[in-house]
A = this chain, B = another copy of it.
């Protein structure tokens, strides 16, 4: 377990209570109050990893409030440090394994969800664990506002192809697709640590944004 290498992680996460939300389930329906600008749109990243994406997005979009979920304690520590370094006030981190987002968020509380380099669970028997399986889409649909969007970014061919079909079969509309994001040279793309590493090897990065119709 990576956790053993960082026994100080608990203390660190408690100390950084301006960034790390200490009792996240108590904020259901009231996440805006955790931010300086409570009425700004709320964007959620599921699986923030080392935090480069959410810290970068926070800086790039001061007009948006961001919440990052990361359940691996030794990993979220790095993300919190990135957010501190980014010196931005609109990012909050949550160290929870939210099996059901509806426990953390009220219906229609979120504007946009990001899934970055999620575990592809390539075996068919693990389909239900993929974060774009229909039971997860049901959760996203509930906590997102009507017309709310999900953006998936991955280097995994199988997860990408699966997700496009899963979004579509669920009734979501694809708004934007890239089958080689770095070829597009989108100046607004904020790469994750993982993305930089794999893109440098010549691996295409896939991205799509889909919206719910309800």
Closest Cβ of chain B to A91, distance in Å, is 30
Per-residue B-contact encoding for A173-214, CB less than 8 Å = 1, 0 else: 111111110010000000000000000000010101010000
A180: chain B residues within 8 A (beta carbon): 157
Instruction: Check if A179 sits within 8 Å of B206, measured CB to CB.
Output: yes
A206: chain B residues within 8 A (beta carbon): 179
Q: Say yes or no: is A60 at the interface (Cβ < 8 Å to chain B).
A: no
The majority secondary structure among interface residues of chain A is: mixed
Closest Cβ of chain B to A207, distance in Å, is 10
A210: chain B residues within 8 A (beta carbon): 168
Q: Say yes or no: is A105 at the interface (Cβ < 8 Å to chain B).
A: no
| Most chain B CB neighbours (cut-off 10 Å) among A177, A180, A208 | A177
Closest Cβ of chain B to A172, distance in Å, is 8
A164 to B173, alpha carbons, bound, how many Å? 10
Instruction: Check if A174 sits within 8 Å of B165, measured CB to CB.
Output: yes
Q: Say yes or no: is A169 at the interface (Cβ < 8 Å to chain B).
A: yes
A204 to B176, alpha carbons, bound, how many Å? 20
Closest Cβ of chain B to A56, distance in Å, is 24
Q: Say yes or no: is A36 at the interface (Cβ < 8 Å to chain B).
A: no
Closest Cβ of chain B to A186, distance in Å, is 13
Q: Say yes or no: is A160 at the interface (Cβ < 8 Å to chain B).
A: yes
A157: chain B residues within 8 A (beta carbon): 179-180, 183
A183 to B178, alpha carbons, bound, how many Å? 18
Closest Cβ of chain B to A147, distance in Å, is 13
